[in-house]
Chains A and B, each alone.
Chain A
Amino acid sequence: EAQVTQNPRYLITVTGKKLTVTCSQNMNHEYMSWYRQDPGLGLRQIYYSMNVEVTDKGDVPEGYKVSRKEKRNFPLILESPSPNQTSLYFCASSFRGSTGELFFGEGSRLTVL
């Protein structure tokens, strides 16, 4: 089954404790992206990647890091989480040549205390 898998789905952590949210897709997609969803703000892009070893900042990259060492994986790293990073996070992927249809993961709800 074609899917984008995120882990963990739910996480409560404390300020400053490094964490990683993993994202993996099994569709051989070149393009992957991370979004955060906040009430009243919709989806905002954090980082994206056009292919292996190619990443770029989205609209709200501060406090986040990403890596793309393999085509299928695109982890989101919070080196020192803060309460304003409490949010619902989505990973998405698509073929590079597609006309915009993104495949989304189920989401990861992060709470930073």
Chain B
Amino acid sequence: AQSVAQPEDQVNVAEGNPLTVKCTYSVSGNPYLFWYVQYPNRGLQFLLKYITGDNLVKGSYGFEAEFNKSQTSFHLKKPSALVSDSALYFCAVRDMGKAYGGSQGNLIFGKGTKLSVKP
């Protein structure tokens, strides 16, 4: 069964320092991987995705993620954190077991990692 794990409940970073939010996955076949962000009292927003191609994926707000097949990881990174990056971050993988005719499949979300950036 497909699954995704976020090993850290919370990550604390000082403003200006690089940040990493970790995600590992377990899928059969090639993974479709995603990162979403949830700001307080808001819905989730799409940040970036990996489908195929370059292992380093760039997304919104200066975030990027590195796909590592051998380590089955898809860590979210940013070179210099901002206080406004403080939010809840979710990693997700497409559930290929529920794909329909090769098209849309549902997403399986991790439990989320709370990122706190202090001034």
Contact = CB atoms under 8 A, between A and B. Distances in A.
Interface in A8-59: 30-31, 33, 35, 40-45, 48, 50, 58
Given A42-B111, A43-B90, A99-B32, A58 B106 contact: yes
A98 B94 CA distance: 12
Contacts of A107: 41-43
B43 to A, nearest CB: 3
B46 A101 contact: yes
Contacts, number: 62
A100 B42 CA distance: 20
A99 to B, nearest CB: 5
A105 interface: yes
B44 A42 contact: no
Contact of A42 (B94, B104, B105, B112): B112
A96 B99 CA distance: 10
Interface residues of B, number: 24
Contacts of B12: none
A74 interface: no
Interface string A81-113: 000000000101011111111111111000000
Interface string B79-119: 00000000000101010000010011111011110000000
Contacts of A97: 103-104
A98 B104 contact: yes
Interface residues of A, number: 30
B49 interface: yes
A60 B6 CA distance: 21
B25 to A, nearest CB: 13
A100 B44 contact: no
12 contacts: A42-B112, A43-B90, A44-B109, A50-B104, A94-B104, A98-B104, A99-B51, A100-B32, A100-B105, A102-B44, A107-B42, A107-B43
